Amino acid sequence: MTRYTADGLTFDVTIGGPADGEPIVLLHGFPQNAGEWDRVVEPLHEAGYRTFAPDQRGYSPGARPREIADYRTDHLVADAVALLDAFGLESAHLVGHDWGAVVAWHLAGRHPDRVRTLTALSVPHPRAFRTALRENSEQRRRSTYMLFFKRKWVAERALLAFGARQLRKVFDGSGLTPQQVDAYVEPLREKGALTAALNWYRAMSGRDAAEAEPVRVPTTYVWSDGDRALGRAGAELCGTYVESDYEFVELDGLSHWLPDQVPDRIAELIVTRVAAR
């Protein structure tokens, strides 16, 4: 574990693989942390790649500003750019899951010179998701949990009650062991940690999604038909917003938690995208 600073905050980042390997930056989602990549990076290292997996804003103990506005998309993207700068990376291959995918889409759209390839897991391009949310009743139903997450203090109390029982239930169907779930949940029981993580939802903006740039770097989007949060409508629209080589990979029968469920398959898809650029 090492650290870098950005915007007056200190971020934890796990780095591994050959020092001279092509760099891959991996961005985690909610309610996880950089540990979701632990079993994905092993085959990436064996294939010769250097990986950088940060605990993002709100998840690193040294990077928990209190204001909701501090979790707007501009800040989240700037944190990832700062990581590249901190480690002298002119550009890198980019991988994101869940909220990490949202950051990755915006970063690739805004700074294509810093992104060699993009592999996005579960969450489609922000404009594809926005369209699905507006026009598809099934996606609106799937996304009702976001309204609950935006309820300040109410969501925290409900999710953390009885030993964080409701937060743990988020992982139902993932196949994770109780110990693996603990690795995600216990850090969020620290004072202020869950509020910081939920502030990503509270700061989210429809305008940011509407103005998301098309992506002009080689891209793979991976989605599972068993994802309870993200439906097919947005997944199938995703390619509309990629103006480069694009592959849509649909995985059958898996849940939202793809890096945990099939780490070797996710690593394989990342390597395929990286090698094909």
* 256 catalytic residue (yes or no): yes
- CA dist 103 and 125 (Å) reads 10
List, in sequence order, every residue forming a beta bridge with 164; answer none if it has no partner: none
Contact assessment for residue 23 and residue 253, using Cβ atoms and an 8 Å cutoff: no
Distance CA 181, CA 179 (A): 5
Distance CA 85, CA 105 (A): 19
Which listed residue (4, 49, 184, 201) is catalytic?
201
- Burial readout 184-194 (b: 16 or more C-beta within 10 A, e: otherwise): bbebbeeeebb
8: phi then psi, degrees, rounded to nearest 5: 75, 10
The conformational region for residue 8 under phi > 0 = left, psi -120 to 50 = alpha, else beta, is left
Which residues, at least 6 apart from 176, have a Cβ–Cβ distance to it below 8 Å?
257, 260
Q: Is position 125 annotated as part of the catalytic site?
A: no
CA 192 and chain centroid, separation: 20
In the β-sheet with 23-27, what is the strand arrangement from edge to edge? 2-6, 9-16, 50-54, 23-27, 92-97, 115-121, 219-224, 246-251
Residue from 79, 98, 208, 260 carrying the catalytic annotation: 98
Alpha helices in the chain (DSSP H): 38-46, 73-86, 99-110, 126-135, 137-142, 144-149, 154-169, 178-188, 193-202, 206-210, 232-237, 258-261, 263-276
Q: Any catalytic annotation for residue 241? A: no
Among 28, 97, 125, 256, the one annotated catalytic:
256
d(CA 223, CA 227): 8
Pick from 267, 233, 213: nearest CA to 97: 267
Active site residues: 98, 201, 256
